[in-house]
Amino acid sequence: MYQALTYPLRRGWAELRNEVLVLPSRTLVLAWIAALLALPVVYGDPYVMRIITMTCIFAIFAASWDLLAGYTGQVNFGHALFFGAGAYTSALLSLKLGLSPWLTVWAGAAVALLFGFAVGYLCLRLRGSYLSLATLAFPLIALGILFAFPDFSGGELGISGLRRLTVTPTGNYYVAALSMLVIVFALWALADSKFGIVLHAIRDDEVAARASGINTLRYKLMVFAVSGAAAGFAGALFAHYLRVAGPSTLEVALSFQVVIWGIFGGVATIYGPVAAVFLLYPLTEWLGSFRAFGELRLLIFASIVLLVLLFMPRGLAPWVRDKVETQCPRCKQRNGFWRKLCRLCGVPLKAEVSRAQRLVSHQ
């Protein structure tokens, strides 16, 4: 009886020990989730919570960009279009029709999904740099149209006076944090599934993928739509959190920002861009809080990005991961850096090479 009761606990502990704690990266993710969920309880400073709320929203945005640009290779320079579409749709619906923000956020994501389809459809024939530069145009076209009809869109000032999703800061924090966790893990699971393998194939060689019987057009459209929907959801959350949907959600600066986050963190990882947002966004806000640094905030941000890039051109997350983990040469499982033998197949991780062998193999 006792054993039956404690079984789930023991099972859970075994899973934790054997699957999570064996790898530094997984331990880190677990600690991060725990810290994220415990923050309002442990340290309820409104300023910190506000920054982390914004960080969570941008993390969704960066992860959605990575699915499209990192996995599928459709390097989108106009990802702000989806963010802005979500923000403006949700803002207009909730303000003009008086709908609850809990509904309009979904409507924002849905409209962004349609925008994703539209952009994806227009860009199906484009590749590489052409695609990047063409997608840069879409948010700017949208911005021009919004400015041409100021009665409808609020022009430069945007649509203000929105309702928040919940009244308390803690509530808003948990809405952002939980939706971030759910969406990021959903995107990660998607990218890790068979679907994600197809995306890798499309990025690496689209012709070969098509020759293998993959309908690459359909996959590209789907990925544009999914990524757009996630970004639109982030945009809608952003609009309701700041209570304003303005032209800044469509600007080139935001599109570039997400590219910086994505590449700085390491593309085609999902967790990389999220980590980059969690490092860079609070860092810039924190720098901005110093009066002496306030004006230099963006300068310091750009310099850090540049310097880090010179040392880790593949991005931050893959670099850290390679430092703390090694891959088993036989079964490709990842192992903690302290292990001598692979934790699954027992093969030595670093082959002992004698000096003579090294000399021979260098020929």
Which residues contribute to the site for another protein (CB under 8 A)? Answer: 75, 122, 125-127, 129-130, 132-134, 136-138, 140-141, 143-145, 147-148, 205, 207, 252, 256, 259-260, 263-264, 267, 295-296, 298-299, 301-303, 305-306, 309-310, 313-315
Tokens of 246: 């303005």
State in angstroms the smallest separation of the CB of 302 from another protein: 4
* 293: Cα separation from own chain's centroid: 28
Nearer to another protein, 237 or 259 (CB): 259
Element housing 140 (H / E): helix 128-148
CB 341 within 8 A of CB 348: yes
Nearer to another protein, 186 or 306 (CB): 306
State in angstroms the smallest separation of the CB of 229 from another protein: 22
State in angstroms the smallest separation of the CB of 263 from another protein: 5
CB 301 within 8 A of CB 287: yes
Using alpha carbons, select from 232, 281, 86, 246 the residue that is nearest to residue 160.
246
CA distance to 27, 50, 65, per residue, from 164 (Å): 34, 13, 25
Nearer to another protein, 103 or 141 (CB): 141
Task: Report the interhelical angle of 252-265 vs 316-324 (nearest 10°).
Answer: 10
Nearer to another protein, 173 or 219 (CB): 219
Burial state string for 309-343 with b = 16 or more CB within 10 A and e = fewer than 16: eeebeebbbbebbeeebbebeeeebbbbeeeeebb
CB 210 within 8 A of CB 106: no
Classify strands 325-327 and 244-245 as parallel, antiparallel or unpaired: unpaired
Nearer to another protein, 306 or 331 (CB): 306
State in angstroms the smallest separation of the CB of 1 from another protein: 58
State in angstroms the smallest separation of the CB of 209 from another protein: 11
Nearer to another protein, 100 or 212 (CB): 212
Q: Specify the DSSP class assigned to residue 326.
A: E
State in angstroms the smallest separation of the CB of 308 from another protein: 10
State in angstroms the smallest separation of the CB of 158 from another protein: 15
Nearer to another protein, 40 or 154 (CB): 154
